[in-house]
Chain A
Amino acid sequence: MADKLIYIVDDEATISKLLEQWVEKRWGYSVRLFSNGEALLERLDEKPDLILLDIMMPGIGGIESLKRVKERYPELPVIMLSAQGDVEVAVNALKLGATDYFSKPLDFPKLEIAIKQAIQLHDLTREVQRLREDIGTKFQFENIVSADGSMQEVFRLIEKVKDNDICVLVLGESGTGKELVSRAVHYNGKRKEGPFVVVNCASIPKELLESELFGHEKGAFTGAVQRRIGKFEQANGGTIFLDEIGEMDLSLQAKLLRVIQTKQFERVGGNETITSDCRVISATNKDLKQAVVQRQFREDLYFRLATFPIVLPPLRERKSDILVLSEFFLKKFTKELGKPELRFSKKALKLLYEYPWPGNVRELENAMQRAVVMAEGEIITEKELPLAVQAFDSKMVTSETPQFFDTNSPILPLEQVKEMSIRNALKSTNGNIMEAAKKLKVGRATLYRLMRKYKIEV
Chain B
Amino acid sequence: MDESRQDQPKKEENAVKDRPLDIFLSHELRTPLTSIMGYAELMLNDPLLGEEARKKFVQIIINEGERLSRVIAHLCDEAKKQQSSPPQEDQMQ
Residues of A within 8 A of B (CB): 12-18, 21-22, 26, 33, 35, 56, 58, 83-86, 103-106, 108
A104:B31 contact, CB within 8 angstroms: yes
In the complex, A85→B20 CA distance in Å? 13
Tell me whether A22 and B42 are in contact in the complex, defined as CB-CB below 8 angstroms, given that A16-B1, A104-B34 are known contacts: yes
Residue B84 lies at the interface, judged by CB distance under 8 Å to chain A: no
Set A21, A26, A35, A85: member contacting B26, Cβ < 8 A: A85
Digit string of B1-33 for contact with A (CB within 8 Å is 1, else 0)? 111110000010000000000110011011101
Tell me whether A13 and B27 are in contact in the complex, defined as CB-CB below 8 angstroms, given that A18-B35, A104-B34 are known contacts: no
B23:A12 contact, CB within 8 angstroms: no
A residues in contact with B22, CB < 8 Å? 86
Complex A-B: 24 CB contacts under 8 Å: A12-B35, A13-B3, A13-B4, A15-B31, A16-B1, A18-B34, A18-B35, A21-B39, A21-B42, A26-B42, A26-B46, A35-B1, A35-B2, A56-B23, A83-B27, A83-B31, A83-B34, A84-B23, A86-B22, A86-B23, A104-B31, A105-B37, A105-B38, A106-B38
Which of A14, A15, A33, A58 neighbours the largest number of chain B CB atoms within 10 Å of its CB? A14
B residues in contact with A103, CB < 8 Å? 30
B residues in contact with A18, CB < 8 Å? 34-35, 38-39, 42, 60
Extra inter-chain contacts (8) besides given A18-B38, A26-B42, CB under 8 Å: A12-B31, A15-B31, A18-B35, A18-B39, A18-B42, A104-B30, A104-B34, A108-B38
B64:A14 contact, CB within 8 angstroms: yes
Whole-angstrom distance between the Cβ of A194 and the nearest chain B Cβ: 47
Tell me whether A14 and B27 are in contact in the complex, defined as CB-CB below 8 angstroms, given that A83-B34, A104-B34 are known contacts: no
Residue B41 lies at the interface, judged by CB distance under 8 Å to chain A: yes
State which size class the interface on B falls in. Answer: 20 to 34
Which of chain A's residues has its CB closest to B2's CB? A35
B residues in contact with A14, CB < 8 Å? 35, 60, 63-64
Tell me whether A56 and B35 are in contact in the complex, defined as CB-CB below 8 angstroms, given that A13-B1, A33-B1 are known contacts: no
B residues in contact with A58, CB < 8 Å? 11
In the complex, A22→B38 CA distance in Å? 9
In the complex, A108→B44 CA distance in Å? 13
A residues in contact with B39, CB < 8 Å? 18, 21
Whole-angstrom distance between the Cβ of A148 and the nearest chain B Cβ: 64
Which of chain A's residues has its CB closest to B57's CB? A21
Whole-angstrom distance between the Cβ of A275 and the nearest chain B Cβ: 52
B residues in contact with A105, CB < 8 Å? 30, 33-34, 37-38
A residues in contact with B46, CB < 8 Å? 26
In the complex, A22→B35 CA distance in Å? 12
Which of chain B's residues has its CB closest to A54's CB? B31
Tell me whether A86 and B2 are in contact in the complex, defined as CB-CB below 8 angstroms, given that A15-B31, A18-B38, A105-B38 are known contacts: no
In the complex, A105→B33 CA distance in Å? 6
A15:B34 contact, CB within 8 angstroms: yes
B residues in contact with A12, CB < 8 Å? 31, 35
Which of chain B's residues has its CB closest to A8's CB? B1
Which of A35, A103, A105 neighbours the largest number of chain B CB atoms within 10 Å of its CB? A105
A85:B31 contact, CB within 8 angstroms: no
Whole-angstrom distance between the Cβ of B40 and the nearest chain A Cβ: 10
Which of B22, B23, B45 neighbours the largest number of chain A CB atoms within 10 Å of its CB? B23
In the complex, A254→B63 CA distance in Å? 82
Whole-angstrom distance between the Cβ of A56 and the nearest chain B Cβ: 6
A residues in contact with B4, CB < 8 Å? 13
Whole-angstrom distance between the Cβ of B51 and the nearest chain A Cβ: 16
In the complex, A83→B26 CA distance in Å? 6
Whole-angstrom distance between the Cβ of B42 and the nearest chain A Cβ: 6
B41:A108 contact, CB within 8 angstroms: yes
Which of chain B's residues has its CB closest to A86's CB? B23
A85:B30 contact, CB within 8 angstroms: yes
B27:A84 contact, CB within 8 angstroms: yes
Which of chain B's residues has its CB closest to A14's CB? B35
Set B30, B38, B45, B64: member contacting A83, Cβ < 8 A: B30
A residues in contact with B63, CB < 8 Å? 14
In the complex, A22→B23 CA distance in Å? 26
In the complex, A26→B48 CA distance in Å? 12
Whole-angstrom distance between the Cβ of B18 and the nearest chain A Cβ: 10
